[in-house]
Amino acid sequence: FQGIFVLGLPYALLHSGYSGLFLIVLAAALCCYTGKILISCLYEENEDGQLVRVRDTYEDIANACCKKLYPKLGGIVVNMTQVIELIMTCILYLVVSGNLLSHSFPYVPVTGKTWSVIACVTLLPCVFIKTLKIVSKLSQLCSLVHFIIILVVMTYCLTQIHQWSWAKFRLSFEFDDFLVSVGVIIFSYTSQIFLPTLESNMKNPGEFRCMLNWTHFFACVLKTTFALTAFLTWGEETKEVITDNLPSFLQTVVNLCLLTKALLSYPLPFFSATEIVYACISRGNHSNYGSPLLSLGVRGSFLLLTLLMAMFIPHFALLMGLTGSVTGAAMTFLLPSLFHLKLKWKKLSFLEKCADISVFILGFLCSLAGIVCSIKGLLEVFE
């Protein structure tokens, strides 16, 4: 939950004012809810009324919903959506790594693209990752680095507490800027792609709902505290990435920490995407990796693909926004609520049905607004 998007939350508050604080809390509640209903779609009651896990992946849920129309249609759509979002996420980490290296060592005559290649070389060991346990260890280190960054920023902000003023908050906002804030806030919580795999790898899956409640609660508290502290410090001067507001003597240290975080963040989407692709190629028989050369080939090809796209895609930030508006909203709001309604309709109460329908409508509106803004931005750039 505490990804690079978190560093953009103060900027989101700049454009959304008091409503941004409400959105941070609301997004946490909605994403927690859709995570729970998505996992509930993996289970069905047996003859004794006990819940039994009858599905393993997001793809299985989608296929179950589309079995009367075309058995594999849902799985194809979900897999394509997941892989696109995961690829774009991996590309983003490589682009960010290249930019951070070029900013950290401005006197070295190396371009950002070359730095991206160097960052990619350090990620070659990802090709040999076979289990989620290794990824979890790297993610744990990533979380540690993230907290160091948050600590540095907040410590500096607390030294400027004498400058804080609630008058810096806006009561009104521009609609286009507000939509940007909504996107940053919502997508800083997205994790639905990873949840089925995460739940299946837990030692005690029965604790999943409790885990989801606590992680979203603490994520919400941390995001709100961080965004509020940083915005009260810099006000109208708040930049898109809050670390750019730091004094120069802190920027280099924080940039190196961000670089470490970006590199440690890469393995999770990389592992998830290659698992999906390998499963499709081997027709689901991927649990024991029967063909080591095939699995290495898939991972190696994926690593090379993300590097090439990171080097040659123009206007990447806008393309990432467009992709996120489509795939992010779909995987986080649209599909979980739609699948839950389809598979559990007869067992849902009236309030649960209303909640699912409301989440679906909200996700559709967010996706539509994000697509319009991203296309508008792309047209302005090309013009």
pLDDT tier for residue 324 given thresholds of 50, 70 and 90: low
Nearest by Cα to 356 from 34, 46, 50: 34
Q: Which helix (H) or strand (E) holds 52?
A: strand 51-53
Inform me whether the pLDDT recorded for 154 exceeds 70: yes
**103-123 pLDDT tens trace:** 778 788 888 788 889 999 999
Q: Please write down the HEC assignment for all residues of 320-370.
A: HHHHHHHHHHHHHHHHHHHHHHHHHHHHCCHHHHHHHHHHHHHHHHHHHHH
Nearest by Cα to 232 from 23, 20, 3, 26: 20
Helix (H/G/I), strand (E/B), else coil: 285: coil
Nearest by Cα to 262 from 59, 4, 13: 4
* pLDDT for the residue 289: 47
The Cα-based distances of 302 to 238, 244, 307, 364 in angstroms read: 36, 32, 9, 30
pLDDT tier for residue 329 given thresholds of 50, 70 and 90: confident
The structural domains of the chain, with segments of one domain joined by +, span 4-382
Contact 237, 54 (CB under 8 A): no
Q: Above pLDDT 90, what percent of the chain?
A: 27
The Cα-based distances of 309 to 89, 209, 269 in angstroms read: 11, 37, 16
Higher pLDDT, 381 or 353: 353
Question: What is the identity of the amino acid at 383?
Answer: E
Rounded to two decimals, the pTM is 0.81
**CATH superfamily, region 4-382:** Amino acid/polyamine transporter I (1.20.1740.10)
Q: Is the dihedral of CA 311, 312, 313, 316 positive or negative?
A: positive
How big is the CA angle at 59 (ends 58 and 63), to the nearest 5 degrees?
120
The rounded distance, in Å, linking the Cα atoms of 14 and 228 is 10
The Cα-based distances of 212 to 219, 272, 335 in angstroms read: 10, 19, 19
* pLDDT for the residue 88: 83
Residue listed under structure tokens 């990435």: 241
